[in-house]
Amino acid sequence: MRKWMTWVGLAVLAMVVLLGVAVALLQRWAGSDDFRARIEREASTALRVPVKLGGLSVDLLPLPAVAVDGLQVRTQPPLTAERIEIRPSWRALLRGELEIASLLVRRAVVPQQAVSALSAAQQRKPAAQKTGAGTPPGDALALLPRRWIIEELTLVQPQRRITLDARVLLDAQRLPDAAEIRVRRGWLEGARLDLARAGRQWSLDGSVGGGSVAGKFTLDRPPAGGFLLQGNLALSGVEVSALTAPSRPLTGRMDTQTTLRAEFRDPARLADALQTQTRFTVNQAVVQGVDLAKAVRTAGTSSGGQTPLDTVAGQVVTQGPVVHLRNLVANSGLLAATGNVTVEADRSLDGRVGVDLAGGALGVPLVVGGTLDEPSVTLSRGAMIGAAVGTLAAPGPGTAAGAIAGEHLGRGLRSLLGK
Q: What percent of the chain is helix, strand and coil (3-state, nearest 5)?
A: 30, 45, 25
pLDDT band at 404 (very low <50, low <70, confident <90, very high): very low
Would you state the torsion angle of the CA atoms of residues 200, 206, 212, 218, taken in this order, to the nearest 10 degrees?
-10
Q: Are strands 349-357 and 176-186 parallel, antiparallel or unpaired?
A: unpaired
pLDDT at 61 over 70: no
pLDDT in tens, 294-313: 877 776 556 678 889 999 99
- Between 28 and 215, name the one with better pLDDT: 215
Please, which residues have CB within 8 angstroms of residue 146's CB and are 6 or more apart in sequence? 89, 99, 100, 101, 102, 169, 170, 171, 172
pLDDT in tens, 188-233: 999 999 999 998 899 999 999 999 999 999 988 888 888 899 999 9
Rg (Cα) of the chain, in Å, rounded? 30
pLDDT at 354 over 70: yes
- CA dihedral (20, 29, 59, 46) positive or negative: negative
Burial classification of residue 225, based on how many CB atoms lie within 10 Å of its CB (0-12 exposed, 13-18 middle, 19 or more buried): exposed
Distance CA 167, CA 199 (A): 20
Q: DSSP labels for 269-285?
A: GHHHH-EEEEEEEEEEE
pLDDT in tens, 94-131: 676 667 889 999 999 999 999 888 888 877 766 545 55
pLDDT band at 92 (very low <50, low <70, confident <90, very high): low
Rounded to the nearest integer, the mean pLDDT of the chain is 77
pLDDT at 174 over 90: no
pLDDT at 384 over 50: no
Confidence (pLDDT) at 136: 47
Confidence (pLDDT) at 401: 42
Q: DSSP labels for 278-338?
A: EEEEEEEEEEETB-HHHHHHTTT---B-EEEEEEEEEEEEEETTEEEEEEEEEE-SSEEEE
Distance CA 317, CA 231 (A): 15
Confidence (pLDDT) at 284: 93
pLDDT band at 236 (very low <50, low <70, confident <90, very high): very high
Residue 280 CA from chain centroid, whole number: 20
pLDDT band at 154 (very low <50, low <70, confident <90, very high): very high
Under DSSP, the state recorded for 267 is G
- Closest to 183 (Cα-Cα) out of 245, 234, 135: 245
Confidence (pLDDT) at 32: 61
Q: What are phi and psi of 212, to 5 degrees?
A: -115, 155
Confidence (pLDDT) at 345: 84
- Between 379 and 156, name the one with better pLDDT: 156
Contact of 282 with 312, CB cutoff 8 Å: yes
Residue 167 CA from chain centroid, whole number: 18
Would you state the torsion angle of the CA atoms of residues 219, 222, 225, 226, taken in this order, to the nearest 10 degrees?
-20
pLDDT in tens, 244-271: 888 888 899 999 999 999 998 877 778 7
Q: Using DSSP, state whether 1 is helix, strand or coil.
A: coil
Distance CA 138, CA 108 (A): 28
Confidence (pLDDT) at 201: 92
- Between 356 and 252, name the one with better pLDDT: 252
Burial classification of residue 147, based on how many CB atoms lie within 10 Å of its CB (0-12 exposed, 13-18 middle, 19 or more buried): middle
Q: Which of 236-240, 280-284, 390-394 has the lowest mean pLDDT?
A: 390-394
- Closest to 402 (Cα-Cα) out of 292, 300, 290: 300
N-term to C-term CA, the chain:
104
